[in-house]
Structure 1
Amino acid sequence: MNFRIESDSIGTKEVPKEAYYGVQTLRAAENFKITRLKMHEDFIKSLAQIKKASAITNCEIGLLEKNIERAIVQACNEIICGKLHEEFIIDPIQGGAGTSANMNANEVISNRAIEILGGEKGDYSIVHPNDHVNMGQSTNDVIPTAGKMTILKLIPKALKQLKRLYDALQEKAIEFDDIIKMGRTQMQDAVPIRLGQEFKAYSSVIKRDILRLEKVQEEVRVVNMGGTAVGTGINADEQYLNKIVCNLSNVAEIELRQAEDLIDSTQNLDGFVAVSAAVKTCAVNLSKISNDLRLMSSGPRTGFGEINLPPKQNGSSIMPGKINPVIPEVMSQVAFNIIGNDMTITMAAEAGQLELNAFEPVIFYNLFESIETLGNGVETFVDNCICGITANRERCKNLVENSVGIITAICPHVGYKKAAGVAKTAIKTGESVRELILKQGLLKEAELNDILDTVAMTEPGISGKQMLVK
């Protein structure tokens, strides 16, 4: 392989001649072999958008020559369109507060701009990674801003899937609204509930998750571009400071606002913690729903067997015919991972010192994964599980009619002590609550029929006949 010689503060180093990255990128790639993965595609594009907006701004205020600005913008546009991503070779988890990622972008853009202007890669007298591409910037405002921009690109994708889930749950709530089943508390029989009510409740919690994620986006619209190293704006022209965020918003087509306190915005990463918390809360709710679906579909003959999940694949290499609830299982596993990521994000945000938090790379690695896997998990949850759920109507009906839980409705009419005695006897003998009430003469049959109207039990003040019409 042919090489070119580049130098930095450490010394000289051979860089592959055809590489668009440079010596600082190469050193970082050698130092950080952590995940063996590459930086997120949207993060790379966000870095290019920042460099493009900075070049435009520096040219507007007369600090960057027009021909250099054009070459930088062209190089950035190519990256934004998906080219040269293979040149971003640094592990997403890296030391140095993201300096390596920033320099990877600076070097790739610089060398591509040099090429555009007719020079050879590595001839930084034409376009310099620091002096031209990084003009008016610092890693400490570029990296957090790129992270926030990436989050603002990822959240809408997750929201799209959550809205599909909400709609699917609403449809099931309507489909199952006339199916009476036994409600359970602490895994024990409680009182009747409609299957549709359960699915409506699932849609309600997902609606809250959607609202949280929509709202939390505002936390990351506030960026510290122009603050440079510690938020004081050192080495950034005042005109650049005033223009950069507006230009970046236009370039990225994302609504961004400059922080009122750039020092605070450089020091503190609570916005990322807030995003992670919203994602984690959603994950907790999704896992709880998944738990319920596995329980209600358990069996199919020796469990609850109240609903059927769509069969997606064989469940065993040894037990013929066994089908497992693999989609709810994977949804819970996604949730477990998100919850763990949230702890990492929390500790990394807490670990900053003084004017900078050096641990943004691990925050971004985990937060991007959380948002992305949330959306991907929900997508398969909707398509391969929720939409195909069916109900076992007779099974639900039989469980209600043979349950002792309906004694709760009788309690106000015969008193708690007598009701408890009936329940105890029913459990011991296997007789139904209805049979025992009539046998003991506690209520007349007509009166008992009204009280044990299971549909009415699910909606106080409305008779079963009225509910079904409704």
Structure 2
Amino acid sequence: MFLLRVKRYVYALYARLKNRYAAGRSLMRRRKLSERTKLYYGEETKKALAVLGTAQTPRALIRAYGEVKLAALRAQQETARMYPADYFPFLEQAVQNVIDGAYDESFPLPLAQGGAGTSIHMNVCEVIACAANETYAAAFPFASFRAHPLDHIARFQSTNDTFPTAVIIMVYRELEEIENGVVKLQEQLVKRETEYENVLITGRTELQDALPMTLGQVFSAWSGPVERDRWRFNKLRERLRTIPLGGTAVGTGFSAPREYVFAAEKELRRITKLPLSRSQNLCDQVAHTDSLAECAYGMGLCADNLCKFAGDLLLYTSSLCGEMKHGEVQYGSTIMPDKVNPVLLELIRGKCLECSALAGLTGEYSRGGQLQLNANLPFMAQEFVRMSEDLTTSLGIASGKLTDMLQINSGVMEAHLSSSAALLNVFKDVLSYTEIKSLLPEIEKARIATKDSLADFLEQHTALERNVINEKLDITNLTGYAK
């Protein structure tokens, strides 16, 4: 009995020690994590978190806002000497760290917010000031200067000119990335246009057999909208590059010295390596967002074109048609081993439908501006991030994995075309409309499967000579202009 009590005591002691050890390890892990992810924001960001909730501010916007701040701070120092010479390198490094993503955990605010972006601007200013002050104090512990988020970091600036400038930079880069994806897709389509220039397929209108064409012509038709998208994005970037930096609150430039404005614009171009230019009508640039809405509509058109492309391929790769085949990306069913789902095409269509809807929503946000400002700009920025992700993903799939895996069943195409009564339409200039109509019931009974069997049928049922029939069924006559 005594030994049993001792045994129980030892087990209980071991359990308590084990729990304490685990708790200690957990506390150490939490401390290490806290040290790794030190948060540099201040009271205003905490107030915003209480209202808006927590989310990660998009990396692309943090980078762009950091670049705007770096340009503004350098312009401050160049024109007003606002910071001690030994402090400014620490300030520059803090902003560079923001640009590079070192403090991303300190930007926890969602883009869905009121205030036209003021919460994010406060957040950026607090992080820069806190990080710079910390490193400066460590290097110069007896120095008294400390930068203030508003009195220094936001000097000569308003949310209403810096936030739109950051959004424009972000969207400009998104358009560049999307345009690169469009170019790659266009190259793939043009390549296949040449590759399949002698492969015949049935052209269809309203989902009904119409006239013969080449598969190369099908790819050529698909490349047309993509080429227009490429041109469109190039023009959109050209019109987007004007920025409101220096306009401050309502576009009047209140509190911003002229020499600062010019210096900030020049420095921002140098930092971003983008062809940005200050708007000649800052009141307009601060108040209106139609240039951004135009970009959203352009992205929506690109999504619509991709949606049509994917929709066509869904028909061609369906079991009902079978003229093309969607490669197996993953198992298509838990109970049907032979099932192959067109997951890439469905993913493209789903993302493009979302992008198109978001483009319309962005337009609604744009038209919701009032008087001298559009407070919906953070919501517009949020939709641009989502649209960009949708389009870059869809374009990457369309120009990469999809076109690589797409199989062309030329034998099925030839069989469909040869057995289609629509092939009689090419004889319209040598047979009357009524004659062709009268042949349709007979040709359906004959179950034509090849061009040769069609030629035999026409030779038997019409007065056409064989050489005329063969000439009409030649690929150059089937798919080109009438001679």
Normalised to the residue count of structure 1, the TM-score between the two structures is 0.89
1:438 alignment partner, one of 445, 459, 472: 459
Q: Where in structure 2 are the equivalents of 1:278-427 lying within 5 Å?
A: 278-299=298-319, 303-427=320-444
1:184 counterpart residue number: 204
1:259 counterpart residue number: 279
Is 1:145 matched with 2:162? Answer: no
2:92 counterpart residue number: 73
Distance 1:32 1:320 in 2: 48
Pairwise CA distance, 1:224: 0.4
2:219 counterpart residue number: 199
2:61 alignment partner, one of 39, 43, 46: 43
Is 1:116 matched with 2:135? Answer: yes
- Quick check: 1:55–1:69 contact (8 Å CA) kept in 2? no
Moved more, 182-191 or 54-63: 54-63
1:12 counterpart residue number: none
Pairwise CA distance, 1:290: 0.6
Moved more, 408-417 or 89-98: 408-417
| Identity score, percent | 27
Relative to structure 1, is the Cα distance of residues 124 and 265 closer, same or farther in structure 2, using a 3 angstrom cutoff?
A: farther
Q: Secondary structure at the match of 1:412?
A: coil
2:252 counterpart residue number: 232
Is 1:91 matched with 2:110? Answer: yes
Pairwise CA distance, 1:305: 1.2
> C-alpha offsets along residues 388-431 of structure 1, whole Å, 9 cap, x if unaligned?
22211211111111111112111121221222222354346756
Distance 2:38 2:198 in 1: 68
Pairwise CA distance, 1:440: 3.2
- Quick check: 2:297–2:360 contact (8 Å CA) kept in 1? no
1:134 alignment partner, one of 154, 168, 178: 154
- Quick check: 2:369–2:376 contact (8 Å CA) kept in 1? yes
Letter in 2 for 1:228: T
Relative to structure 1, is the Cα distance of residues 337 and 456 closer, same or farther in structure 2, using a 3 angstrom cutoff?
A: same
Gaps of 5+ in 1: 2-16, 463-470
Distance 2:368 2:399 in 1: 38
Relative to structure 1, is the Cα distance of residues 385 and 124 closer, same or farther in structure 2, using a 3 angstrom cutoff?
A: farther
Distance 1:224 1:304 in 2: 54
Letter in 2 for 1:61: T
Letter in 2 for 1:91: P
2:21 counterpart residue number: none
1:60 counterpart residue number: 78
Letter in 2 for 1:422: L
Letter in 1 for 2:378: P
Moved more, 314-323 or 81-90: 314-323
Pairwise CA distance, 1:55: 0.8
Letter in 2 for 1:23: E
- Quick check: 1:216–1:274 contact (8 Å CA) kept in 2? yes
Q: Secondary structure at the match of 1:181?
A: strand
Q: Secondary structure at the match of 2:375?
A: coil
Distance 1:124 1:202 in 2: 66
Pairwise CA distance, 1:71: 2.8
1:10 counterpart residue number: none
- Quick check: 1:37–1:91 contact (8 Å CA) kept in 2? yes
Q: Secondary structure at the match of 2:422?
A: coil
- Number of equivalent positions: 441
- Quick check: 1:22–1:108 contact (8 Å CA) kept in 2? yes
- Quick check: 1:422–1:433 contact (8 Å CA) kept in 2? no
2:264 counterpart residue number: 244
Distance 2:244 2:90 in 1: 26
2:468 counterpart residue number: 447
Letter in 1 for 2:130: N
Moved more, 426-435 or 206-215: 426-435
> C-alpha offsets along residues 233-262 of structure 1, whole Å, 9 cap, x if unaligned?
001112112222111111222221000100
Moved more, 96-105 or 39-48: 39-48
Letter in 2 for 1:397: E
Q: Secondary structure at the match of 1:191?
A: strand
Distance 2:477 2:430 in 1: 16
Distance 2:88 2:252 in 1: 25
Pairwise CA distance, 1:199: 1.1
State which structure, 1 or 2, has the greater radius of gyration over its C-alpha atoms: 2
Distance 2:426 2:406 in 1: 30
Relative to structure 1, is the Cα distance of residues 213 and 411 closer, same or farther in structure 2, using a 3 angstrom cutoff?
A: same
Q: Secondary structure at the match of 2:137?
A: coil
Q: Secondary structure at the match of 2:268?
A: helix
Distance 2:441 2:153 in 1: 79
Structure with higher helix content = 2
Distance 1:142 1:112 in 2: 20
> C-alpha offsets along residues 367-387 of structure 1, whole Å, 9 cap, x if unaligned?
122123211221122222112
- Quick check: 1:221–1:255 contact (8 Å CA) kept in 2? yes
Is 1:155 matched with 2:175? Answer: yes
Moved more, 409-418 or 332-341: 409-418
Pairwise CA distance, 1:216: 0.5
Distance 1:78 1:349 in 2: 32
> C-alpha offsets along residues 280-319 of structure 1, whole Å, 9 cap, x if unaligned?
11111111111111111111xxx21112222211111222
- Quick check: 1:307–1:390 contact (8 Å CA) kept in 2? yes
Distance 1:124 1:437 in 2: 100
2:479 alignment partner, one of 431, 437, 458: 458
Pairwise CA distance, 1:116: 2.2
Moved more, 239-248 or 224-233: 239-248
Distance 1:414 1:237 in 2: 82
Distance 2:344 2:38 in 1: 46
Distance 2:380 2:474 in 1: 54
Pairwise CA distance, 1:156: 2.0
1:25 counterpart residue number: 45
Letter in 1 for 2:301: T
Distance 1:66 1:169 in 2: 58
Distance 1:37 1:20 in 2: 16
Distance 2:228 2:297 in 1: 13
Normalised to the residue count of structure 2, the TM-score between the two structures is 0.87
Letter in 2 for 1:73: E
- Quick check: 1:180–1:455 contact (8 Å CA) kept in 2? no
Relative to structure 1, is the Cα distance of residues 242 and 405 closer, same or farther in structure 2, using a 3 angstrom cutoff?
A: same
Distance 1:104 1:350 in 2: 27
Q: Secondary structure at the match of 1:230?
A: coil
- Quick check: 1:110–1:124 contact (8 Å CA) kept in 2? no
